Amino acid sequence: MNLLLFFVLCALSITLASADVKHETTSKHPFYMLSLGDSWASGAEVTERHWYEDDGTCGRGNRSWEYLLAQDRDWTESEMNFTFMACSGAHLSAATHPDNDEAEAQIEPVKTLGGPVLLTMQLGATDCNFSNVARACIFMGGSNGKKYPDPDSACAQAISEADRYINGDTGLLADHQKTLASITNWEPLNGTDNWNLYVVGYAEFFNAKTTYCNDMAFDKDKQAKLTTELRTKINLLVQDANNAIARSVERTTNTTDASIRFFNPSSLFESHRFCEKGRDLNGQYFSDDVWFWNLSPPEIDLSNGNKTQIQEMWLNNQTLPNGNQVTDLDLDDMIAEDRGRTLRPKYDAHKAIKEAMVKQLRADKVPGVKSDPVTTAAATTTTRSSTTTSSAIAAPSPTGKQPYASGQVRIHVQEWWGCPSYDDENNLSIAADIWDNDVNIGSVKHTSAGATAPLSLASKFEQFMVITPEWADGGYVQFALGSLSFNTLNNTNQDDDVHCKVGGWDPRQGPTCDENYDEGATMRQMDCWFPAPEWRGGPPSDGSKL
């Protein structure tokens, strides 16, 4: 062989070998993803054909949004390494402590993972006891012989119990913040910056604006009517829970360097809740366009018989395809946090959450996530109690002119405490006006309202403002507008974007109950200021045209 040719071939072989070695040493680490959560995160799968690699004890399903996220290979720069720890019935404490008969804390596998790590966490619904509200108010209502809004009814008591936990000083906010603190201090996360945590909220179950559902019921005896009042109150519990979770994230990120974001999926469910327009009772149970499971057993899904006949058997008297009628114990299992799927998202909802999460991860430029190949609008941000959160979908391009001015908005409220004074929770009434600069954009005349009967105020805003007078803690008024929630008790700092100023009762001694209502009532006034919501192009809630 020619000596020169020999040296050239040797050099070439060394060059090629060096290239191979360099490729091996620079290969990317897997993208590690760990799922923490309850039945909303696990998928609440109760049929074996959709279980995720276990015996179904945790309800983990291969149609949950985290599993779908992990199976999509197009959004990560490297191979996915997914650990599925979410478990139906899990409490907040399950994130860092064994719970629900599990052998280890849900976050435990992070000790063996490399980086970067994406953590997702959807926890809190079990602690809020939403299943008890569902049981008492929707599916087994009137079990103690009294119906909502009777304050002695099982439904009203379940709502009050959930409300106390969700909005109490030692309730959801405190527990959620404690959980986040435990996560940030968990080894090997503590002191490192190679992980991101997305805390995911929940979605309201009902369209509370329709009226046809007032005469509809989902319980066996058709006694628990889904009134506008009840639907609004249950939705408000979910909104308040999201608000508490968002504040927990805000407080944690304000005191640590941790990369934690709140993701609110609620807007994804628009037009896919119970009681949407034009939907009959069968549709409330079996339509794919409803994204929540109703109280229907999996036997109906799996049956090969006449679907229409089988569905009607269930709707008429809750009879299974085999001819057996379910017992109250069976129904309770179908609602239970750790065993049932009722009021949990269906497959289409999980797909929507998965797609929205991919968009959000790309928009946030999370390490290890590919940039979006197609230019898309940045995810919207919503201000709620001064908390910046990730909305589930980008805002549509508005057409027409925004029906209200941007900037600060004021609501003026008159509140009356009437007679008889022995029933303070239900003898309140209010009148309210919303002002955009010097223009009135919404008002409601003197109307009864109370802790069990919130008022929905229509205005130029796209969403109704829900106003709830309360007698707890000396009396205060709660306000909710979309993702924004505040009240006259806690939002009093005049330097904040959201704040309230409340006057005293007149006359101060209370109502004179031997006179007629208007003269005998005690009245006070208040004003609250808050930022105008971002307009998404929809029509005003008062029905006026753009």
**pLDDT tens per residue across all 546 residues of the chain:** 454 444 434 444 434 333 333 333 334 688 999 999 999 999 887 666 566 666 667 888 888 999 999 999 899 999 999 999 999 999 999 999 988 677 899 999 988 877 678 999 999 999 999 999 999 999 987 666 788 989 999 999 999 999 999 999 889 999 999 999 999 998 888 878 889 999 999 999 999 999 999 999 998 888 899 999 999 999 999 999 999 999 999 999 988 878 999 999 999 999 999 999 989 999 999 999 999 999 988 777 766 778 888 888 888 888 888 888 888 888 888 888 777 889 999 999 999 999 999 999 999 999 999 987 764 444 443 333 333 455 554 444 445 688 999 999 999 999 888 765 444 455 678 889 999 977 899 998 888 777 666 777 889 998 888 888 877 666 789 888 877 888 998 899 998 999 999 988 887 766 655 544 444 578 889 999 999 988 877 778 887 776
Domain of 489?
A: 408-531
- Does 328 lie in the same domain as 474? no
* 259 inside domain: yes
Token pair recorded at residue 100: 């629900």
* 434 inside domain: yes
* 109 inside domain: yes
- Does 335 lie in the same domain as 451? no
Cis peptide bond prior to 116, omega within 30° of 0:
yes
Closest CA to 205 of 103, 342, 307: 342
Closest CA to 69 of 367, 373, 352, 366: 352
Q: Please report, for the domain that includes residue 340, its CATH number.
A: 3.40.50.1110
Mark which of 357, 391, 425 sits at the end of a domain.
391
- Does 412 lie in the same domain as 377? no
* 171 inside domain: yes
Rounded Cα–Cα distance for residues 139 and 216 (Å): 12
- Does 379 lie in the same domain as 418? no
- Does 305 lie in the same domain as 349? yes
- Does 423 lie in the same domain as 378? no
* 26 inside domain: no
- Does 175 lie in the same domain as 322? yes
Mark which of 391, 424, 440 sits at the end of a domain.
391
Which pLDDT value is given to residue 13? 46
Closest CA to 65 of 46, 89, 82, 90: 82
- Does 124 lie in the same domain as 221? yes
Looking from the CA of 489 toward its CB, the CA atoms found within 13 Å total 16
Which pLDDT value is given to residue 378? 40
* 428 inside domain: yes
Which pLDDT value is given to residue 54? 61
Rounded Cα–Cα distance for residues 24 and 325 (Å): 63
- Does 372 lie in the same domain as 451? no
Rounded Cα–Cα distance for residues 201 and 261 (Å): 11
* 293 inside domain: yes
* 17 inside domain: no
Rounded Cα–Cα distance for residues 306 and 290 (Å): 21
> What is the pTM (predicted TM-score) of this model?
0.67
Rounded Cα–Cα distance for residues 380 and 247 (Å): 18
* Angle 416-421-423 from CA coordinates, rounded to 5°: 100
Q: E-strand spans in 235-380? A: 260-264
Q: Burial, 388: exposed, middle or buried (Cβ in 10 Å; 0-12, 13-18, 19+)?
A: middle
- Does 427 lie in the same domain as 387? no
Which pLDDT value is given to residue 376? 44
Closest CA to 409 of 528, 525, 294: 528
- Does 308 lie in the same domain as 257? yes
Tell me the CA distances in angstroms from 520 to 417, 419, 515, 523, one per residue in order: 9, 7, 5, 10
Domains in the chain: how many in total?
Answer: 2
Mark which of 391, 418, 435 sits at the end of a domain.
391
- Does 379 lie in the same domain as 413? no
